[in-house]
Structure formats: C-alpha cells, structure tokens
C-alpha cells in the first residue's frame, strides 16, 4: 500500500514529519495504523513526533489499539499502553477494555517478560477496571 507523504517511509524521513504536523486529522485518520506502527520502536526518531500528533485523537483509535493488543509485539503493546495512560478519561471501546483486562489478568509469558502485563495492570487500575 502506498501511503501519503505525511506517513514516514523510513527512519530519516524528516520531511514526512514536517508534513504530518501540518496535516489535518481528517486526512491522517485513515492512516492511523500506519502511524501507530512507528510506536513499535521507542528509539525511532519518529516516535515522539507521532506520539504527540496522535495524542489528541487517541479516543478515536480503539480499533487500532485492539489490533496492536492482538499482535505478538509486546513492546508495541506496552508503548501503546503508555500512550493510553495519557488519556484524560478511559476509552469506552469494550473490545479494547476486554483486551487490556486480558493482558492485565491473564498475560502471556512474553507480556510478563516485557512488562506489558504490569503496564496493563497499572492502566486498568487507573481506569478502575480492576
């Protein structure tokens, strides 16, 4: 799939980040998952700019977070949990809440090892789910 120029194509694609900062959410929304993929690596130069761009819209990304939480990438899950912690109020997506609770209460060995379960428990407690 070819992405618009505001979705970084590689780690040194600074022009994409400049464009993203000027892009209206309505135009970026269809590419939210492609942007979330940059949150897989906290050391990526695009992590913080994309994290900050997505922050005001996280309540609209329940389906995308569910896709992340269904993946095997525990670091990505943890990074997304930290993004969700910045939300002023819990997300209302019941599928997302169920996946978060599953990670918090019945984690895989990898989710325990990568501290994903701990992050999920802390968020579930903050959101009064546990």
pLDDT of residue 98: 96
Question: pLDDT tens for residues 38-85?
Answer: 999 999 999 999 999 999 999 999 999 999 999 999 999 999 999 898
The whole-angstrom separation of Cα 35 and Cα 50 is: 7
Question: pLDDT tens for residues 2-42?
Answer: 899 999 999 999 999 999 999 999 999 999 999 999 999 99
pLDDT of residue 80: 94
The whole-angstrom separation of Cα 23 and Cα 38 is: 17
Q: What is the pTM of this model?
A: 0.90
């Amino acid at each position: 799939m070819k992405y618009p120029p505001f979705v970084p194509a590689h780690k040194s694609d600074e022009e994409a980040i400049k464009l993203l900062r000027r892009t209206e959410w309505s135009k970026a929304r269809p590419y939210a998952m492609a942007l979330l993929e940059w949150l897989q690596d906290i050391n990526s130069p695009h992590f913080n700019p994309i994290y900050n761009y997505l922050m005001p819209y996280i309540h609209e990304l329940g389906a995308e977070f569910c896709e992340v939480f269904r993946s095997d990438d525990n670091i990505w899950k943890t990074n997304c949990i930290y993004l969700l912690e910045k939300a002023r109020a819990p997300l209302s997506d019941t599928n997302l809440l169920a996946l978060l609770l599953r990670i918090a209460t019945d984690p895989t060995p990898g989710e325990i090892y990568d501290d994903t379960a701990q992050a999920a428990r802390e968020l579930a407690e903050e959101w009064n789910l546990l």
